[in-house]
Structure 1
């Protein structure tokens, strides 16, 4: 397959230089960034398609009162790219660059047409500026004349959002009509050159990134990287004003598809989607396009224009461990039937200084900050020791907090005395997955203050009216109790979902384990005992102590051999080594 002939064929159809490279399957970024230099290898010396000097001279001899101007046009009338040289009888050294210098603006050789241009003394009159011809394939998206508006919108958006990230990645949302036009060109090339492989086509989005993205980087003063490297993604949304009219041809190519979509209007709110276009074009042939009135893709009356530029920074994740000192504080806002039940929450106390550091409004906090933790404790349960692991996801952050700012955030969180966070650090997305995994696999150590409510079974000599006291035998019974031979497990129990959480969790019976268990009497409080218990993830300690109407079995009563209830509960330790170490902020 001769690449030069394919290149010229695409040019004759009206493709721009970069699209011609796409159909050749060129996947070299520099070829699109510096297309003028790269395409030279595919352009022949003057051929039969190039006007001979004799033809031009003959035409000029029929025109009186004109300077003798010789124009060599390197494209046919359907081309949208020209390579021209201009000479006059009086000044043979002047070329097209000299003409452009005296014109009203620069001329892009890839986007102009030379036909019917008149010169006087080597100067192009302002009223005779060359007409911009739009690429029949990319709709001008790859043509530099269409980029200034996009550059302006891009720069304004980045300035408004004030991202401090020194790099960016770019993505293109192209008009659906480009799919139709790409298919039409591909079918024509394949028809003319049967050995051509349509799968060699370089995607428009890649060619755009290599060409537009490279110059945009210089325009906005940031380095262009792939989305796997840079956390800042810029998406350019291009729209084509005549798209709906052109896409009507899809109905002729696949009538059954669009009849079905029409009958399911509730499901398909939009008639033409990218997916529907791909389905309609999948089996299309050149003959079908001709029958539908498209022997070749027509030159667009207007180029695709930038409708919007969006940018979003990848989320940052701040991690730490919180210590909760209050017994009147839920982990997250407690709203019941639309009514707030508590004044504040752990989440809100942690969010406030972070929001202040990022300059977020209360409304922005609701959708740009997300709280995650390794489990949760009840409102009336403290979390002590080194605290519970947590993370805060910051969506679309404008910048990264410094170590000094993170230290100040921790100080502000701890200032109220209800929640203490000693350190915060950045973690990666992979480490964040460890936090969620640990929520289901970690174990916790609790300290519980319990009260004995009845005499034990071994206290036969005591009457019901005598005070209930915790005996040495009670402590010994608890410390020696076990109902399983499973290694590392003291007590195996089955818990039905507690009544207090049935509104948010399904009713199931779950097997849980008490891994360690020890009891001690409370000095000066004869009816009280203190428990230290280490449990597997998901164990409801309160329900294990009092049994919850036999919904948890066996309960602590089985070991104590007396009725018992719980007065206070603390999380003494969350056995999850997370976060492990400090990380620099990801860039």
Structure 2
């Protein structure tokens, strides 16, 4: 079977109008010259310009048909042993270990910088050797060869396809310390006439060790200058490549909903100052941890439509939010699985509950950001005044509260350490104050997003004006605060 594959591939290659080879003998002579220059069987195929296909999986059969040895005592001088070092084994093993449920992937490969130098060296060798009539533009790129070999194994053993566009990515970084300095001779190789063009390049491209800089310098380097500094064919190496990293990255998964915070002293996200937790619990962790178990993601980020302070409850229909699951292994979720998280939070009487928890699309997350400008919030506050207000004063405040009230709010003292010292105009859309007993009052407040309600009540040492304290003519403080509603239509139906 293997012999048939090889013979068929060679026959088709020789019959192709694009090929520079017209007989098996001519092909064998070129293969011998390439192999003699210390190329592996795979690189022989590449420089003969065999298109990627099943022949690249028949190393022994190819070697026999082309009459070249199947194995080398030292690494290939063109690929540095990359194509013989079974990277696919490592990728497949790692994929099974991670247990992603992807149907397809994109493969990204970072090669040693010396590969480009050695490729140029082999091009010059081929162009100067009459036994190798390969058109250099037809030589198969080493990255393409690697991706092909890895993709074949991934499909065979994992059932996934390697394609050009996928939400799942596999990145490999391959290094070779022995040849790591081979590109350094290129520095300063360009003629002075090229300096103007060089200045126009991206700053990063000009750093001598960047890959783009090496490619640019290599393109500008004449054959004569190149051959004066580097051998052709490339020099032998003692050691092959090292696989430095294999990483899997998948596009984030987004789950949206609304959360209720039924107890105080719970922050929205982990609240840590100086390495110490200020609030023991966070909304993000209470919701995020069971989602992390379900999706097997690396981490998660909770993004809310605004945030309440740790000592403020979130009641009513809850606050809109989404959870970004970073690098999830499992994304084929059913709605019942997500609903079960909501059900378990309720069953366990968690201080944080969710409503309408569901999968959302990445573009749906824009609603949270865009809603910052338009949403309004309703609050209920327990307020204390230094003196009990007269009925007339209470009526006066409520009359004012029936109309829109524009505040001038300087950045509150309590957040000056993390926010710019600005004056922000904010609107109180409605205000109603009801006497409870003695000096205690209930204030119902509707405001636009971004209004600091605590500061509106006590005035923040005159930094918010007008304030409820200013309207009452008495010192005021807020004892408890609840958010009762956030008027943003989210998650989408």
Report whether the alignment pairs 1:331 with 2:262: no
1:398 is matched with which residue: 329, 337, 347? Answer: 329
Q: Aligned-pair distance for 1:214?
A: 3.9
Q: Normalized against structure 2, the TM-score is what? A: 0.76
3-state DSSP class of the match of 1:387?
A: strand
Structure 1 residues 129 and 431: CA distance shift in structure 2, 3 A = closer
Per-residue CA shift, 1:304-351, capped at 9, x if unaligned? 564543223322222221101112322233333333333322223223
Report whether the alignment pairs 1:235 with 2:163: no
Structure 1 residues 203 and 432: CA distance shift in structure 2, 3 A = farther
Matches within 5 A, 1:146-161: 146=84, 149-161=86-98
User: Which residue of structure 1 aligns with residue 156 of structure 2?
Assistant: 219
3-state DSSP class of the match of 1:342?
A: coil
Report whether the alignment pairs 1:250 with 2:163: no
Rounded to whole Å, the distance in 1 between the matches of 2:164 and 2:392 is 66
1:344 is matched with which residue: 281, 289, 293? Answer: 281
Per-residue CA shift, 1:404-448, capped at 9, x if unaligned? 332222233332341111332222222223323434553322222
Rounded to whole Å, the distance in 1 between the matches of 2:465 and 2:70 is 90
2:353 is matched with which residue: 414, 417, 420? Answer: 420
Q: Residues 494 and 552 of structure 1 are in contact (CA less than 8 Å); yes or no, is this contact kept in structure 2?
A: yes
Structure 1 residues 547 and 443: CA distance shift in structure 2, 3 A = same
Matches within 5 A, 1:400-479: 400=331, 401-414=333-346, 415-439=348-372, 441-454=374-387, 468-471=388-391, 474-479=394-399
3-state DSSP class of the match of 1:333?
A: coil
Rounded to whole Å, the distance in 1 between the matches of 2:490 and 2:12 is 53
Matches within 5 A, 1:560-575: 560-575=472-487
3-state DSSP class of the match of 2:266?
A: coil
3-state DSSP class of the match of 1:109?
A: helix
User: Which residue of structure 2 aligns with residue 44 of structure 1?
Assistant: 21
User: Which residue of structure 1 aligns with residue 53 of structure 2?
Assistant: none
Rounded to whole Å, the distance in 2 between the matches of 1:355 and 1:76 is 54
Matches within 5 A, 1:216-365: 216-226=153-163, 228-229=165-166, 231-240=167-176, 242-244=178-180, 246-251=182-187, 253=189, 272-297=209-234, 304=241, 306-357=243-294
User: Which residue of structure 2 aligns with residue 551 of structure 1?
Assistant: 463
Rounded to whole Å, the distance in 1 between the matches of 2:291 and 2:224 is 62
User: Which residue of structure 1 aligns with residue 431 of structure 2?
Assistant: 518
Structure 2 unmatched runs, 5+ = 1-7, 36-40, 46-57, 130-134, 193-203
2:445 is matched with which residue: 533, 541, 546? Answer: 533
Q: Aligned-pair distance for 1:291?
A: 1.7
User: Which residue of structure 2 aligns with residue 166 of structure 1?
Assistant: 103
User: Which residue of structure 2 aligns with residue 17 of structure 1?
Assistant: none
Q: Residues 321 and 390 of structure 1 are in contact (CA less than 8 Å); yes or no, is this contact kept in structure 2?
A: yes
* Bigger proportion of residues as helix: 2
Structure 1 residues 300 and 43: CA distance shift in structure 2, 3 A = farther
Structure 1 residues 198 and 298: CA distance shift in structure 2, 3 A = same
Per-residue CA shift, 1:542-586, capped at 9, x if unaligned? 1011111101112124544554433322111112222213xxxxx
Rounded to whole Å, the distance in 2 between the matches of 1:38 and 1:245 is 41
Q: Normalized against structure 1, the TM-score is what? A: 0.65
Structure 1 unmatched runs, 5+ = 1-33, 51-71, 84-104, 116-127, 257-266, 361-366, 455-467, 483-488, 582-587
Give the CA RMSD over aligned residues: 4.0
Q: Which has the larger radius of gyration?
A: 1
